[in-house]
Structure 1
Amino acid sequence: MPPHQQQLEDEDRLSALPDDILLSILGRVSLRAAASTCVLSTRWTHLPWLLPELSIDVKEFLSGPCRDPAEENDMEQAMASLEKATRSFLAKPRKGSSISRLRLQLYLINTFLCDIGSLIGDAANSGLLKDFDLAILDETDPLDRSEEEMIQRAQEMDGFFTAYPTVLCSLTRLCLHNVCFGKLDINHILSDCCKQLKHLSLFHSDTGDRTPCKIDAPNSELSVLQITTCRFERLELVCLPKLERLEWDTWVSVYAPLSLGFVPSLGELKLSYGRAAYHRGFKLSEVLDGATSIHTLTLDFQGENLWMPLEIKELYPAFKKIRKLSVSGIFVYFDIEWTIAFLEAAPSVEILVIGVWYHPCESCDDDGEGPRSTFPKRRNPQWEIDFRSSKNLLLKELQFIGFAMLDHQFTFIRALLERAPNLQTIVLKGNEQCDECDALDTPPVSLFPNEKEQEMVVKRITDGLFSPQIIFDE
């Protein structure tokens, strides 16, 4: 059979599939790629406009090659294309179908927001749009944004929402960059404006002059809150009854950055920070005071000094229900046996994740020649710990990320086996991927055991006394 005839038959087989299968295929590619399929044949013409979920990202419309970050002219052209795409998918009538979810990522350029707001508002009013995710991006480096500019962005965003209130009725997820809430009350947004909002992400934002951010929204539906590199002096969650997950990454406070009030549903908490020399540290028990429903806790030190003293008895009220505990970002040459002490405070832990930090790129400056001086000197903590009562009968799995066959790592694993008789599985993983490390001209020698070394690792861990399943995952 000639190649061209075989190709036609293959295409016919694909076109013969029912709509639901073809829509499932289109849902796995970008919206631009999905829209381009309508030119393949008349069979595909109507399909992109039946997709139940749409994701329209302004960055997909940036003409290449363009600078990173994009310049103002490139952003305006991308927004013009995004406005046309949005109109194409929202203004065209659908036969018996609705949009179950729209993800829209755009730039805050007023020239195009009026048309976009009108389209989304009409779609929400007509019942076409059920669920709306909005991300307002910013290409400007946060350090180059003045406080006045961040306030202006907040005012423009508020003006957009005020002009199109029906947009807020369907808004369930909101992501903001470089916004100052000094004059824009975040509680007003959560309680009065975005009444259906369930997921809020804030990047490089603040409340003005490093003041505390207080959230008191008893009627809010918010279940997920992500705070990343925001300049709040302190985050005070006075009342968020439906909050289930909180991620707080990089704070500026020299004291405890977080205060938890009435958060009865909070089950997942992640605290991540890597500039420990710039604040005085804090007791974790003080931050977690009143949080008694946490089942998943992640502490990430990002390879720097540990920003908390080790305390056990004070942590028990907050730790007693934890099922998964992750202690990540521990500098690779730091002692890690102290983490076993958490087993006493968290007797219900079933999965323990230990992640060590090893990044060869840190040994080079931006020119790849000398050592970096970004971070202060690391200090290995010296804690005297009594492990006699640190038993855990429920621990079933250890995940060790960044395993490097160092003596103190073997000592830790053996000590854990002695204190967790039901430990069944040990997963040893390689170092987490890092683009900067991969970009080095001379790739670093891997410290993860190769196939020949893995047998030795198993023998050294078990030594004929223990029999856990050991899985190597590079």
Structure 2
Amino acid sequence: MLQQLDEEDRLGTLTDDILLSILGRVSSRMAARTTVLSTRWTHLPWLLPELSINVKDFLSAPCADHIKANDMEQAMASLTKATRSLLDKQEREFSISSLHLNLYLISNFLCEVGQLIGDAIDSGLLKDSDLTILDEMEALDCSEEELQQRAQDIDAFFTAYPSVFLCLTKLSLKNIGFDKLDMHHVLFDSCKQLKHLTLYHCDTGSFSLFKIDAPGSKLRVLEIESCRFLRIDLVCLPKLEKFLCRTWVSQVAPLTFGFVPSLGELVLSNPSDCDQRLFRLSELLHGVTGIHTLTLDFQGETLWLQPEMKELRITFNQLRKLSVCGIFVEFDISWTTAFLVAARSIEMLHIEVWEHTCDVGEARPDIFHDRRNPQWEMHVDSISENMLLKELEFAGFKSLEQQFAFIRSILERSPNLQKIVLRDEEQCDDCDALKVPRPSRFPRKKDEQEMVVKRIRDGMFSPEIYFYE
């Protein structure tokens, strides 16, 4: 008893700001539990300016491979109870600046949560919110009927609680089929405050065309992954700053850009198939001149990009950071120097080589096609220099001869290169599951690293070189 009082006295010496900072770093479920630690904590959850309520925090076994429907329903019941408590106007002294809500699309609970959020918005208690609709099903396991039903449920939810829709600043959807609904109206015409939109396996059917023409939109970040669009035409998104497009189905360039004057960061990530045609970045990015950060990820498969130099100079006029990832370890990497010629403004270059145990030899899935190393003839002027490049990061470094040659060629073209970071590759979960030991070729020992430094500098260069496992 004395020990409990002593602990309570020590907690009592902390200010509300410090205690709220602690609570802001834990889940809402954990924050609610802290009220029993001490009378000093009792009122604190209702003082948090931001609330984050995630249904997965209420699962009995959140790390299970297969979450049962009954477990999801119980978790949603607990989430609903927690939401009701934390949005209680009688308990709260101050308004909530933002609510981050992750939940399952279970209609009866969704209705109650929608009512609670709608009332909080209408009363002025809640200013803005972001919503993530989760789904435990894999995309390939969803039938067209299930995808379309989920779209109907989403539409019904926002129709019933329009305040929730109008208040959304961030929305993330998974496994939604808008075949029978106006996807543009639901996501862009109605969400007036939306700034961040993420779509995972959401579309209007296989190989459909999606045009986004939203001159009044406030959208700044758009993430599209594993959607089955033939092409996405960004006709008008004046506030868009960052666009991520991952794993498309089209065999040609998956995008066209119209009026996107604020676009500065672009991520293109896709494993190609044998029928996919090469496309030109200069054509895809026609009219886009403000890109400062570009990531190209080939995910260890055949390269789908046609190298260019002069054609990209206007497009890359402001490019500062370039990441070229997922280059299969046996492929040539010298072609990436073409970017240094095209973009004289690059300050940071990131190269990532791909070699996964789960993806080579007998472990490679049968549905994957054979990789083809493109035979590109590059005519790069040997005296072309990039005066602004200051840092080179090489992930998946293995002390291969072609890698040393590549790094030295970068040094020759970059007189102001000051820092080289060499990183080991990251093993994925599938690699770990194979439990097949593979000797690492990354230099870990001091004498190995000293040899690498000597070979890179070659008595001619003097960059700082760092090793990270």
Check whether TM > 0.5. Answer: yes
Deviations 1:122-153 (CA, angstroms, capped at 9, x unpaired): 11112211220101111222112222221221
2:68 is the counterpart of 1:61: no
Residue 461 of structure 1: which of 436, 450, 456 is its match?
456
The structure 1 segments of at least 4 consecutive aligned residues displaced by more than 6 Å after TM superposition are 4-7
Is the 1:428–1:470 Cα contact (8 Å) retained in structure 2? yes
Residue 281 of structure 1: which of 268, 278, 281 is its match?
278
Is the 1:428–1:471 Cα contact (8 Å) retained in structure 2? yes
The aligned counterpart of 2:334 is: 337
The aligned counterpart of 2:307 is: 310
Shift of 1:181: 2.1
AA at the equivalent of 1:170: C
Question: Number of residue pairs matched?
Answer: 467
2:435 is the counterpart of 1:424: no
Distance 1:7 1:460, change over 3 A: farther
2:465 is the counterpart of 1:470: yes
Q: CA–CA distance in 1 between the matches of 2:201 and 2:431?
A: 25
Deviations 1:284-313 (CA, angstroms, capped at 9, x unpaired): 211111111100000000011000211212
User: Mean Cα displacement is larger for which, 451-460 or 412-421?
Assistant: 451-460
AA at the equivalent of 2:289: T
| Matched ranges for 1:101-250 at <5 A | 101-250=98-247
User: Mean Cα displacement is larger for which, 222-231 or 58-67?
Assistant: 58-67
AA at the equivalent of 1:141: E
Distance 1:371 1:288, change over 3 A: closer
Is the 2:155–2:186 Cα contact (8 Å) retained in structure 1? no
Match of 1:218, SS state, is coil
AA at the equivalent of 2:125: L
2:380 is the counterpart of 1:387: yes
Q: CA–CA distance in 2 between the matches of 1:289 and 1:262?
A: 11
Q: CA–CA distance in 2 between the matches of 1:95 and 1:147?
A: 44
The aligned counterpart of 2:258 is: 261
Calculate the TM-score normalised by the size of structure 2: 0.95
| Matched ranges for 1:31-42 at <5 A | 31-42=28-39
AA at the equivalent of 1:252: V
Q: CA–CA distance in 1 between the matches of 2:384 and 2:324?
A: 17
Residue 23 of structure 1: which of 14, 20, 23 is its match?
20
Q: CA–CA distance in 1 between the matches of 2:273 and 2:413?
A: 31
Is the 2:11–2:40 Cα contact (8 Å) retained in structure 1? no
Higher-strand-fraction structure: 2
Match of 1:399, SS state, is strand
2:347 is the counterpart of 1:354: no
Residue 369 of structure 2: which of 370, 376, 386 is its match?
376
User: Mean Cα displacement is larger for which, 40-49 or 93-102?
Assistant: 93-102
Is the 1:290–1:318 Cα contact (8 Å) retained in structure 2? yes
AA at the equivalent of 2:67: A
Shift of 1:98: 1.8
2:325 is the counterpart of 1:328: yes
The aligned counterpart of 2:395 is: 401
Distance 1:106 1:377, change over 3 A: same
User: Mean Cα displacement is larger for which, 115-124 or 58-67?
Assistant: 58-67
Unaligned runs of 5+ in 1: none
Question: Equivalent pairs: percent with the same residue?
Answer: 63
Q: CA–CA distance in 2 between the matches of 1:415 and 1:13?
A: 61
Deviations 1:304-326 (CA, angstroms, capped at 9, x unpaired): 10002112122222111100011
Distance 1:208 1:333, change over 3 A: same
Q: CA–CA distance in 1 between the matches of 2:468 and 2:89?
A: 49
User: Over the residues paired in the alignment, what is the CA RMSD in angstroms?
Assistant: 1.8
Shift of 1:79: 1.0
Is the 2:295–2:324 Cα contact (8 Å) retained in structure 1? yes
Unaligned runs of 5+ in 2: none
Q: CA–CA distance in 2 between the matches of 1:22 and 1:43?
A: 9
Q: CA–CA distance in 2 between the matches of 1:198 and 1:205?
A: 18
Is the 1:437–1:443 Cα contact (8 Å) retained in structure 2? no
Shift of 1:11: 5.2
2:83 is the counterpart of 1:86: yes
Match of 1:279, SS state, is coil
Q: CA–CA distance in 2 between the matches of 1:82 and 1:374?
A: 40
Shift of 1:443: 3.3
Is the 2:411–2:417 Cα contact (8 Å) retained in structure 1? yes
Deviations 1:192-212 (CA, angstroms, capped at 9, x unpaired): 311000000000111123211
Is the 1:275–1:375 Cα contact (8 Å) retained in structure 2? no
Distance 1:11 1:459, change over 3 A: farther
